[in-house]
Amino acid sequence: MKHDIWFNGKLVPYEEATIHVLSHVVHYGSSVFEGIRCYNTERGSAVFRLPEHMRRLVDSAKIYRMEIPYSQETLEAASLETIRNSGLEACYIRPVVFRGTGKMGVNPLNNSVETVIAVWEWGAYLGEEALAEGVDVEVASWNRMAPNTFPALAKAGGNYLNAALVKMNALKNGKMEGIMLSTDGFLAEGSGENLFLVRDGKIYTAPVGLSILPGITRDAIVTLARERGYTVEEKLLPREALYIADELFFTGTAAEVTPIRSVDHYQIGEGRRGPITEELQEAFFDVVHRGNDPHGWLTFIDESEKEFEPTAAAALAL
């Protein structure tokens, strides 16, 4: 289904949401974007961590000196409007801010800044069975960008040129995804997901300084794990820690919580979703499927269905 798209302040039909080929973004990859999910929870349709995602969009734009002519609150309201207008009960929301027409050349300062919010239905990112069975992955031959090359805290379109190389290689090798190492060889993240490792009941994930995207699902999983008494450490881990892990899983808006059952043909744990992965997946689904929301992470589409008063957006911990 083709749903109306919010384009610079108003909803336009899908077919009319077009740009010029000489837009800066086409030539230089100058966009920043978000990926957000709206769930059809048992308490009604609700967006998961909308303020946190929009804050990251605003942060990404600031890093790239792009002035979005809308406030974070307006972008949040526009997302809700776009969802309501689509009639979808569950969807993926894609806000994107990009450099449009103006002057040609790398300097983007004389080009327009355009703002778009689109919605579509998006199922399981790494395959429907993956959530239960786990995925087979590889260590990518491409590294994550080095610090002080491309800003990793910005979710910028251009960053995904590297991600696409990783994903294409993985698929051509018969794998669902690639795990990238930092330029120093430490475990970083997947092409579109953060990575968690479990060993001896402790949970590890890469520190933000390793040029990972500071994932909002990652933050939620760290919170849910600590609430359940687990130790979660942000740590530099070598490649081979993957092969001797008890459990591995990815987190992300699109990927949700996806177990990894093998890496580079090494079986991980029992070769299927491990118990801690399952517990945290359950905890996550309790929020987004059942709508149990003690943290105020859900923004209900229909205000009347709102049972919990969302707290102010939690500071996104770096």
Q: Which residues bind ligand PPE (CB under 6 A)?
A: 35, 163, 189, 192-194, 213, 215-218, 251-255
Least distance (Å) from ligand PPE to the CB of residue 254?
3
Which residue, 111 or 299, is less far from ligand PPE as judged by CB? 299
Nearer to ligand PPE, 102 or 236 (CB): 236
Cβ 247 vs Cβ 221: under 8 Å: no
Q: Tell me, what amino acid is at 204?
A: Y
Annotate 249-261 with DSSP letters as a single string: EEEETTTEEEEEE
Of 110, 122, 80, 75, nearest to 96 (Cα)?
A: 75
When the beta carbons of 215 and 259 are compared against ligand PPE, the nearer one is: 215
Q: Judged by CB, which is closer to ligand PPE: 35, or 44?
A: 35
The one-letter amino acid at 174? G
Q: Is 155 a catalytic residue?
A: yes
100 versus 192: smaller Cβ distance to ligand PPE: 192
Q: How far is the CB of 253 from ligand PPE (least distance, A)?
A: 3
The dihedral formed by the CA atoms of 208, 213, 216 and 220, expressed in degrees to the nearest 10? -40
Which of 252, 223, 303, 278 lies closest to 43 in space, CA to CA?
Answer: 303
Shortest CB 288 distance to ligand PPE, Å:
12
Instruction: Please list, in sequence order, all residues whose beta carbon lies within 8 angstroms of the beta carbon of residue 110, skipping any fewer than 6 positions away.
Output: 102, 103
| Least distance in angstroms from the C-beta of 159 to ligand PPE | 7
CA distances from 7 to 98, 127, 128, 140, 298 (A): 11, 31, 32, 36, 25
From the list 10, 62, 155, 172, the catalytic residue is 155
Amino acid at 108: P
Min. distance of Cβ 146 from ligand PPE in angstroms?
15
Residue nearest to ligand PPE (CB): 35
Helix, strand, or coil here: 129? coil
As annotated, the active-site residues are 155
